[in-house]
């Protein structure tokens, strides 16, 4: 499964970083970095919950 960020929407508030710092990070320019290209299927539920927690709905899990 893949997780993508809509950079037009992302406000770099770090909610997703706090929930899964091994997957998400913010760089020096406060741009969201997704550390893993493909997330193992076992984490789909967790990452879907994180995507739903993004206050501006910038994350898509597919």
Which residues of this protein are in contact with ligand SF4, per CB under 6 A? Answer: 5, 10-16, 32, 54, 56, 58-59
Residue with Cβ nearer ligand SF4 (8 or 38)? 8
Residue with tokens 């499964």: 1
Q: Helix or strand or coil: residue 29?
A: coil
Give min distance, CB of 57 to ligand SF4, in A.
8
Give min distance, CB of 60 to ligand SF4, in A.
10
Give min distance, CB of 42 to ligand SF4, in A.
21
Dist. CA 60–CA 62, nearest whole Å = 6
**How many CB atoms within 10 Å of residue 47?**
21
């Amino acid at each position: 499964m893949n997780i993508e960020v809509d950079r037009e929407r992302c406000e770099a508030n770090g909610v997703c970083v706090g929930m899964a710092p091994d997957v998400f990070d913010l760089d020096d320019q406060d741009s969201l970095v997704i550390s893993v290209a493909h997330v193992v299927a076992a984490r789909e539920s967790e990452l879907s919950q994180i995507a739903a927690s993004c206050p501006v709905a910038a994350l898509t899990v597919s």
